Amino acid sequence: MQSLRRRARRLARQGELRKAAGLLRTLVALRSEPSHWVLLGDMLRRAHRIDEAREAFKQGLWLNRQAGAHARAATVATLIATLG
């Protein structure tokens, strides 16, 4: 899992945001954790895929709430609000 995250970050640094988002989609398919969804949402936002970013953030928000991570959920809610 960590190697997918590292590869996605490396691709993002190289400006390959869509490829990085593709790797993060694989990551959330393998392991649906709140942080993975938020990373995907951020990558999609950076790639100007706002509707998809919003959906990924919403999934991260829901999973954080389910886990009782209310402070993290509030942060993700703020990210969603900034998308407009």
Q: What is the pLDDT of residues 26-79, one digit of tens each?
A: 999 999 999 999 999 999 999 999 999 999 999 999 999 999 999 999 999 999
Provide the CATH topology of domain 2-82. Answer: 1.25.40
3-state secondary structure of 2: helix
> What is the C-alpha to C-alpha distance for residues 23 and 4, in angstroms, rounded to an integer?
6
What is the pLDDT, as a whole number, of residue 40?
97
User: Residue 12's Cα: distance from chain center in Å?
Assistant: 13
Q: Phi, psi (5° rounding) for residue 16?
A: -90, 65
pTM, two decimals, is 0.93
Please, what is the Cα angle at 67 between 50 and 24, to 5 degrees? 40
